[in-house]
Structure 1
Amino acid sequence: MAPAACPAAAPSGPRFLRTAMLLLLLLAASRRAAGAAALTELRCQCLQTVQGIHLKSIQSLKVLSPGPHCAQTEVIATLKSGQEACLNPAAPMVKKFLQKRLSKGSSN
């Protein structure tokens, strides 16, 4: 004689599948959200730098010091158009621009 299947022990049907899929999607979304923050913090943001940005098109600068996320200084310019561009911190133009901004900030 074959054992009788217990309906409570083995859930089946579209409701169970829907619940299982929802749980899988929630798990994947929470891992992706948690991993996204870690990825941006654990690597350099500037993989390439651009050349020849006119100083008047720069709205603001963000300077990221070397740290565990990246071994080099990074200079990220936000342009008046809203785009961001990575600048070479060793370039004479960038050094001059940073010096000018620092001297303006200390005189205020």
Structure 2
Amino acid sequence: MSLKSIGLELRCQCIKKESRFIHPRQIQNVELFPSGPHCKDAEVIATMKSGHHICLDPNAPWVKIVIERILKSSQV
């Protein structure tokens, strides 16, 4: 079994990061990947309802709000 098959990449997944606002109705799912040995930067990847994946800039103000909401909901 490869690391990729269990969801672990050994490199950064995001080359280009989007900071422009994307309306929540267009987003199906958001995944957070903390920084680590695979990548020095935290990564936020949104799966759009169209099926496309977009890397979001974790420093964009609206993305920070999304991250806070995800973290709060995971603590419940």
Q: TM-score range by the shorter chain?
A: 0.7 to 0.9
Amino-acid identity (%): 43
> Which structure is higher in helix share?
1
Q: Which has the higher contact order (CA 8 A, sep 6+)?
A: 2
Which residue of structure 1 aligns with residue 17 of structure 2?
Answer: 49
- 1:67 and 1:103 map into 2 onto residues whose CA distance is 22
Which consecutive aligned stretches of 4+ in structure 1 deviate over 2 angstroms post-superposition?
Answer: 100-107
Report deviation, 1:98.
1.7
The structure that is strand-richer by fraction is 2
Query: Which structure 2 residue ranges, 5 or more long, are not aligned?
Result: none
Question: What is the match of residue 77 of structure 1?
Answer: 46
Q: Is the 8 A contact 2:19 2:60 kept in 1?
A: no
Please, what TM-score do these two structures have when normalized by structure 2? 0.76
Deviation digits for residues 67-99 of structure 1 (CA, Å, limit 9, x no counterpart) = 111100000000111110000011110011122
Larger Cα-atom Rg: 1
CA RMSD of aligned residues (A): 2.0
> How many correspondences in the alignment?
70
Whole-angstrom distance in 2 between the partners of 1:46 and 1:71: 11
Q: Which amino acid aligns with 2:61?
A: P
Alpha-carbon distance, 1:57 to partner: 1.0
Q: Which residue of 2 aligns with 1:103?
A: 72
Contact 2:27 2:47 survives alignment (8 Å)? yes
Structure 1 gaps, min length 5: 1-33
